[in-house]
Amino acid sequence: MNKNCLVIGAGMAGLTAARTLQQNGWQTTVLDKGRGLGGRLATRRIEAGKADHGAQYFTVRTPEFEKLVATMQQVGVVKPWDLRTSQHPLFVGVEGMNAVAKFLANGLDVRTNERVVSIAQNDTDCTATTETGNRFTASHVIITAPAPQVISLLKDSGIALPEQQVNDLQSIVYAPCLAVMVVLNQPSQIPVPGSLKFDNGPVAWVADNQQKGISPQLPTLTIHASPAFSRAHLESNLDQTGAQLIEALREWIPADTVVSYQVHRWRYSLAERTQPDPFLVAQTPFSLLIGGDGFGMGNVEGAFLSGWNMAQHLLQYP
């Protein structure tokens, strides 16, 4: 069996799978439709500052992940963030959450701006064709896109899974999230250590990226709308929705402190309902594994475990 694998998605799950396979002598190519890598490990430059607008932090609960996080901490990629809201240790990227993805991608063959539009089986291999017309061939394929995107890709490729596997993919549900990144002209009034969580109302979370340490020169905030608000306003005018969310936090964000803001629409943010197993072995004539954060814990650590377990599965091949 040839030891090469195409990995679709350069987020936590895909990069972990590719890195683990490559460390064990496999040849891997990672394809991502995004301009940059990292998926929902996302950090944006905004004016002279920065803001994490996807995942805000990650938990460490399992020994496999603990090992990776210890390595990343040693080389200065991540640091603890003591929010005192979790019984598990929480970590953030020292330069932003996207730095975690960049660390994992080091030494990997990652092709960005490559949206896979179809997968087809050849004699012994399979080929992924991207929107740019490029074709990539390997013996094994791993897909780590959110489940609804996997379902579309398989349909567009004419690949029919057994009913049970289709049901399993369809049962995975993600909350959307509207994320607002705000630039302030003075340090924010968010209390130390730099975040607030809300159980009711339009806002679910606000974080101060300056206190978090990723935007030392310029105070910036990240606001995440609640799932209910995000669902109701997903297609609304983004500027107006951003203003509404900032207004909802007026107590902490005085009007005359806002310099500018940007809004990002996440159609898939945190998984609300996941599959318990870390990945799915697709019943296809070629070797196809489907994983990502829709399998397991439904967060950064869950995505890591999914990627790691998919790699372990393939490493069993002689």
> Which residues bind to ligand FAD, rule: CB under 6 A?
8-14, 31-34, 39-41, 54-58, 115-116, 144-146, 149, 153, 177, 179, 224, 266, 269-270, 292-293, 299-300, 303
Q: How far is the CB of 78 from ligand FAD (least distance, A)?
A: 13
Nearest approach in angstroms of CB 38 to ligand FAD is 7
Among the residues of 7-89, which ranges form H helices? 12-23, 63-74
CB 128, min distance to ligand FAD, A: 8
For residue 22, with 0-12 CB atoms within 10 Å meaning exposed, 13-18 middle and 19 or more buried, which class applies? Answer: middle
CA distance 106 to 99: 11
- 278 vs 292 by CB, closer to ligand FAD: 292
Kindly tell me which of 215 and 274 has the beta carbon lying closer to ligand FAD: 274
Instruction: Please report how close the Cβ of residue 308 comes to ligand FAD at its closest, in angstroms.
Output: 12
Give the residue with the Cβ less far from ligand FAD, 286 or 304. 304
Compute how many other C-beta atoms are within 10 angstroms of the C-beta atom of residue 148.
Answer: 16
Contacts of 170 (CB under 8 A, 6+ apart): 147, 151
Alpha carbon of 166 to those of 105, 121, 275: distances in Å?
31, 19, 12
Angle at 302 between CA 85 and CA 117, to 5 degrees: 130
Nearer to ligand FAD, 177 or 203 (CB): 177
Q: Minimal distance in Å, beta carbon 132 to ligand FAD?
A: 11
